Chains A and B, each alone.
Chain A
Amino acid sequence: AQSVTQLGSHVSVSEGALVLLRCNYSSSVPPYLFWYVQYPNQGLQLLLKYTTGATLVKGINGFEAEFKKSETSFHLTKPSAHMSDAAEYFCAVSNNNNDMRFGAGTRLTVKP
């Protein structure tokens, strides 16, 4: 079965600084990879996903992630953090949609 490891349960950045949230996956078959964001008291919202094709994936709110097969990674980045980016972020891996595995989550804090 596939699995996901998110490095760092909490990440704090200053407003305007680079955001980097790390995700490594394990999968025996070509994976589908996702980043979801959860704002307080809300459900999960898809930021971006990788299925096939281009390995650099652009998502909503200026986020992007790059699928690196050799490193089994799918790190999430944003060049300049905004206060509204403060939330919890989940990386997930799936191979056939009925077995989506989530990481433990990374809480992003943005300081003024």
Chain B
Amino acid sequence: DADVTQTPRNRITKTGKRIMLECSQTKGHDRMYWYRQDPGLGLRLIYYSFDVKDINKGEISDGYSVSRQAQAKFSLSLESAIPNQTALYFCATSDLAGSSYNEQFFGPGTRLTVL
């Protein structure tokens, strides 16, 4: 089973709709992240969370919100979707311990299209 899962994998929606993307992890990591990927721009950080009570804005948080429901779950919401939020969205996790220190582990991505 995958360590970091994202649902849905694909979503098509209309302008103005509220959308929630979900991320779950079984790695036991405290830190979780949401990125968006656009062609030619790489990945840009939207929000990150170091534990359940800690939420931080990233590079491009406008138009997005997040919820850390539990250590294992981190959701990204688009309150009123707009076409330029069409992108590939990735969830990632990391931990400070052991040999994987400072490495981020990525989910498979959610492809979102806003019409």
Contacts and interface: CB of A to CB of B under 8 A. Distances in A.
Q: Which of A4, A90, A100, A105 has the most chain B CB atoms inside 10 A of its CB?
A: A100
Contacts of B103: 34, 46, 49
Dominant secondary structure of chain B at its interface with chain A:
strand
Interface stretch (A12-20, A37-45, A60-68, A73-81): A37-45
A44 B6 CA distance: 13
For chain A, the bracket of interface size reads 20 to 34
Contact of B42 (A45, A98, A102): A102
Given A42-B108, A44-B106, A46-B103, A98 B50 contact: yes
Contacts of A44: 43, 90, 92, 104, 106
A51 interface: yes
Contacts of A45: 106
Interface residues of B, number: 25
A11 interface: no
Nearest to A6: B42
B94 interface: yes
A97 interface: yes
Interface string A15-54: 0000000000000000010101000011111100101000
Interface of A: 4, 9, 32, 34, 36, 41-46, 49, 51, 90, 94, 97-100, 102-105
